[in-house]
Amino acid sequence: MTLRPLFRLPLLILLLSGSLFANGVAVINASTGVYARLKGSGVTVSVDDQVAVVTTTQVFKNTLGTEQTVKYAFPLPEGASAVKLRWFIGGTWTTASFSSSPQDTSLPGGGGTVAASLKTYLGATPLYFGITQKLQPDSLLIVELTYVQLLPYRNGTVSFFCPNDYRLIQTASVDSQSFAVSIASQRTIDSVTAVSPAGTAAANNGLAATLTWKKAEGAADADYRFRYALASTELGLFGMSTKLPDSLGYFAFIAEPNPAAGADVLKKVFTLIIDRSGSMYGDKMVQARNAAAFIVNNLNEGDRFNLIDFDDVITPFRPKHVLYAPPTRDSALQYVQTLEARGMTNISGAFEAAIPQFALTADSATANIIIFFTDGQATAGLTGTEQILGKVQTLVTALERKISIFTFGIGSDANGQLLSLLASQNNGMAEFLGSDQLEARITDFYLRIRNPVLVNTSMVIASENVREVYPNPLPNLYKGEQMLVAGVYSPAPPLGITLNGTAFGKPVSYQYQLTLSDTAVPKNQFLPKLWAKKKIEHLLVKYYNLPSGSLQADTLKKQIVALSVSYGVMSPFTSFTNPGNASAVREHGGRTVAVPADFVIDGNFPNPFNPSTVIRFTVTAEVKRIVRIRIYNALGQLVDELAVPVNGAGSYEVLWNARGVRGPLSSGVYVAVLDAGDRLVAHRMMLMK
């Protein structure tokens, strides 16, 4: 059997399913830039209410005359989750399993060095997979990768970008390229615009749209770009759900506040903290000044603001926040242009100057925001991560006002752990960027948070049949932005959802109704994976808030691994592996198939306990699956869930640290419920402090 006749069929690539990003690389020698030749590329994408299920397919050929070891590398977009990978070689398709080990990021050849062009092409979050079979001379390799991604959205417009320009890797002609997109939306699609390649055909009937393009015999020299605009008058909540046979239901919804141009927004009390230590010298300092000037120019009337720049000396623009007006704006712009890089890096001192100022001007009616960027480690003041975090939390607690801290790490020397924890502990987000991305990324980010509409956001769901809803806690909502929420249910209730928050010092509520499906909905079968991705993100925040190597951190890591393997969603601790190297996980729509078995909870030790206990159970049948233990308080509220991989009959145990989503739990009776698939078994535990 040979693939050559099949490859000539013009529809081959289109028949190999749907995608966002175009081309991976079959790496033979990463140092010298030797790759298997790309012969064909197929890109299709299926979008439902901005959630894209993505598959990308490439056909490679070994043109070197000898057999070669190949490693597949793919420029996975940030925020995407890989859910399936398979490859065709030697006449056989093989589907990768999920491994409980992090991915091997090494590349063949070169002793660890990577060609600059390859590193640039793969971007910040590449996926790697070693093809186990040798690629024979003049033979073909087909690789197909599937992942899930929420498409970027801003002020009613959904955007799409996929790097199909392959010239950094290969300038030779590609035999066949194709691009096909289908879009379905509950919100009216006003327009669809194909930006590139030239000649992309677009069609739109209001609730569904398509884009198609194909090319034979030519260079892969044009990225795929398009955007579509959604009706600004159709706002609210748009939901999706599916109920798996004999299993849980999964739902997701997208909610958005009013983005109308005249909509009221909250007043901000805003501080920009600028690192001007010596390592910011040169272009980084120029970009920092430009980013600060952009933010100052785009504050809203009624906002109060201040700038604080630091090296080992802390210098505020003003002693306290000032009202935004032309005179203060112009003075701030002049001040920004005087900033020069010098000295050491006193991060703690910058926050000691910034946070107390909010006590003078902030209140419950304002959105209180700090944007902080730095390119290095703390070298003055408090220098330890835990010391700095402790100081910030002490300052925030004394302030008695909620602050959102958004952090940016510039280059490879920034303290990633510190910046992640500063953001996650203070209602913000952390981003990490290259030294040449500072101005563009910070100005773009500021435009997103410029207009907060609802702060201190919370959600009430009027059903006891719904649980494990993520994200938790909810983010603030901003003008023109959306919030994606996912959860599980059983059975299917009619769902009343209330979003609560504060606007201008007064409570605000948005009420919605969502009907959940009591049957399987084929087009929504990606929802279990989407939910698992959201839960993994939630657990990762908790994990990174714990001391590295602690029992609690290790327990959370095991939960994340178990979810990743069970639902087939990539995590930082898992990777794809050859199915011959790891036990395959049988799935049914993303949930491990229940296997009838006998499970017995043997109790927990110690009991009563403080602060943690070990829950033990016995399996008396040959079962290989993930067992979930859900912890409920005396009111019947779900406070935690543990996932335990079971690999045959035997005794198992898992540590529970008596922590819920809001932190340590109080003394009382808790019930551990083991979900055995075919039945539930329960055990009472006593926490005594």
CB 498 within 8 A of CB 460: yes
- Residue with the bigger pLDDT between 38 and 404: it is 38
Domain encompassing residue 473: 236-262+453-525
CATH number at residue 475: 2.60.40.1230
Cα dist from 641 to 470, 663, 672, 688, whole Å: 13, 14, 9, 20
Cα dist from 430 to 76, 482, 557, whole Å: 19, 18, 21
Question: Do 215 and 319 fall within a single domain?
Answer: no
Alpha-helical regions (H) of 229-384: 283-297, 326-336, 347-354, 358-361
Query: Is the CA virtual torsion 326, 328, 331, 332 positive or negative?
Result: negative
Average model confidence (pLDDT) for the chain? 82
In a domain, 534, yes or no: no
Share of the chain above pLDDT 70, in %: 86
Omega before residue 126 within 30° of 0, cis: no
Element (H, E) at 513: strand 506-515
Question: What counts of helices (H) and strands (E) characterise the chain?
Answer: 11, 44
Question: Do 280 and 243 fall within a single domain?
Answer: no
List the structure tokens of 222.
């044009």
In a domain, 572, yes or no: no
Residue 69: closest CA among 130, 134, 18? 134
CB 469 within 8 A of CB 477: no
Question: Do 384 and 342 fall within a single domain?
Answer: yes
In a domain, 587, yes or no: no
* Residue pLDDT, tens place only, 158-203: 998 888 899 999 999 999 899 899 999 989 999 999 999 999 999 9
Taking the C-alpha atoms of residue 135 and residue 90, their distance in angstroms, rounded to an integer, is 8
CATH number at residue 385: 3.40.50.410
Question: Do 148 and 191 fall within a single domain?
Answer: yes
Question: Do 271 and 412 fall within a single domain?
Answer: yes
Using pLDDT thresholds of 50, 70 and 90, give the confidence band for residue 557: confident
User: Residue 90: left if φ>0, alpha if ψ -120 to 50, beta else—which one?
Assistant: left
CB 182 within 8 A of CB 17: no
Amino acid at 636: G
Highest mean pLDDT among 103-117, 277-291, 320-334: 320-334
Taking the C-alpha atoms of residue 57 and residue 501, their distance in angstroms, rounded to an integer, is 44
pLDDT at 606: 84
CB 304 within 8 A of CB 321: yes
Count of domains forming the chain: 4
Q: Residue 663 pLDDT > 70, yes or no?
A: no
CB 334 within 8 A of CB 235: no
- Residue with the bigger pLDDT between 307 and 374: it is 307
For 597, half-sphere exposure in the C-beta direction (CA atoms, 13 angstrom radius) is 25
Mean pLDDT of 54-61: 90
Would you give the end-to-end CA distance of the chain in angstroms? Answer: 70
Mean pLDDT of 325-351: 93
* Residue pLDDT, tens place only, 126-157: 899 999 899 999 999 999 998 888 888 887 89
Sorted by sequence, the CB contacts under 8 Å of residue 386 that are 6+ apart come out as: none
Q: What's the angle, vertex CA 563, arms to CA 559 and CA 565, rounded to 5? A: 115
Q: In 3-state terms, what secondary structure has residue 202?
A: strand
pLDDT at 669: 72
Last-in-domain residue among 389, 421, 450: 450
- Residue with the bigger pLDDT between 299 and 476: it is 299
Q: Residue 440 pLDDT > 50, yes or no?
A: yes
Q: Residue 592 pLDDT > 70, yes or no?
A: no
Q: In 3-state terms, what secondary structure has residue 319?
A: coil
Residue 182: closest CA among 203, 159, 161, 151? 203
Question: Do 390 and 366 fall within a single domain?
Answer: yes
Sorted by sequence, the CB contacts under 8 Å of residue 331 that are 6+ apart come out as: 317
Percent of residues in the chain assigned helix, strand, coil, to nearest 5: 20, 40, 40
In a domain, 150, yes or no: yes
Least confident of 86-95, 439-448, 530-539: 439-448
Q: What's the angle, vertex CA 590, arms to CA 589 and CA 591, rounded to 5? A: 100
* Residue pLDDT, tens place only, 370-408: 999 888 888 999 988 889 988 998 998 888 788 889 888
Residue 54 forms beta bridges with which residues?
45, 147
pLDDT at 110: 61
Element (H, E) at 99: strand 97-99
Highest mean pLDDT among 159-168, 255-264, 437-446, 615-624: 159-168
- Residue with the bigger pLDDT between 628 and 269: it is 269
pLDDT at 5: 28
Question: Do 457 and 426 fall within a single domain?
Answer: no
Residue 689 forms beta bridges with which residues?
none
Question: Do 639 and 674 fall within a single domain?
Answer: yes
Using pLDDT thresholds of 50, 70 and 90, give the confidence band for residue 596: very low
In a domain, 557, yes or no: no
Sorted by sequence, the CB contacts under 8 Å of residue 382 that are 6+ apart come out as: 347, 348, 388, 391
Residue 12: closest CA among 46, 47, 44, 52? 44
- Residue with the bigger pLDDT between 420 and 252: it is 252
List the structure tokens of 314.
């802390």
Q: In 3-state terms, what secondary structure has residue 538?
A: helix
Q: Residue 124 pLDDT > 70, yes or no?
A: yes
Residue 86 forms beta bridges with which residues?
95, 144
Last-in-domain residue among 492, 525, 558: 525
Beta strand pairing call for 37-48 and 174-184: parallel
Using pLDDT thresholds of 50, 70 and 90, give the confidence band for residue 320: very high
Residue 271: closest CA among 404, 447, 433? 404
The total number of residues shown for the chain amounts to 689
pTM of the model: 0.62
In a domain, 345, yes or no: yes
Mean pLDDT of 218-242: 90
Question: Do 9 and 153 fall within a single domain?
Answer: yes
Taking the C-alpha atoms of residue 673 and residue 628, their distance in angstroms, rounded to an integer, is 8
CATH number at residue 681: 2.60.40.4070
Q: Residue 560 pLDDT > 90, yes or no?
A: no
Residue 141 forms beta bridges with which residues?
60
In a domain, 652, yes or no: yes
List phi, psi (to 5°) of 433.
-140, 160
Mean pLDDT of 303-332: 94
Highest mean pLDDT among 94-98, 294-298, 356-360, 443-447: 356-360
Amino acid at 415: N
Question: Do 254 and 293 fall within a single domain?
Answer: no
The gap from C-alpha 413 to its chain's centroid, in whole angstroms, comes to: 22
Taking the C-alpha atoms of residue 470 and residue 680, their distance in angstroms, rounded to an integer, is 24
Amino acid at 179: F
Q: In 3-state terms, what secondary structure has residue 11?
A: coil
Farthest-apart Cα atoms in the chain, separation:
78
In eight-state DSSP terms, residue 257 is: -
CB 142 within 8 A of CB 59: yes
In eight-state DSSP terms, residue 582 is: S
Taking the C-alpha atoms of residue 373 and residue 440, their distance in angstroms, rounded to an integer, is 13
Taking the C-alpha atoms of residue 458 and residue 449, their distance in angstroms, rounded to an integer, is 18
Last-in-domain residue among 525, 546, 566: 525
Alpha-helical regions (H) of 341-480: 347-354, 358-361, 385-399, 416-424, 438-449
Question: Do 98 and 74 fall within a single domain?
Answer: yes
Using pLDDT thresholds of 50, 70 and 90, give the confidence band for residue 502: confident
Taking the C-alpha atoms of residue 311 and residue 663, their distance in angstroms, rounded to an integer, is 35
Taking the C-alpha atoms of residue 590 and residue 486, their distance in angstroms, rounded to an integer, is 14
List phi, psi (to 5°) of 376.
-150, -175
Question: Do 494 and 505 fall within a single domain?
Answer: yes
Taking the C-alpha atoms of residue 466 and residue 491, their distance in angstroms, rounded to an integer, is 9
CATH number at residue 112: 2.60.40
Highest mean pLDDT among 90-104, 320-334, 655-669: 320-334
pLDDT at 506: 62
Mean pLDDT of 58-73: 94
Q: Residue 241 pLDDT > 60, yes or no?
A: yes
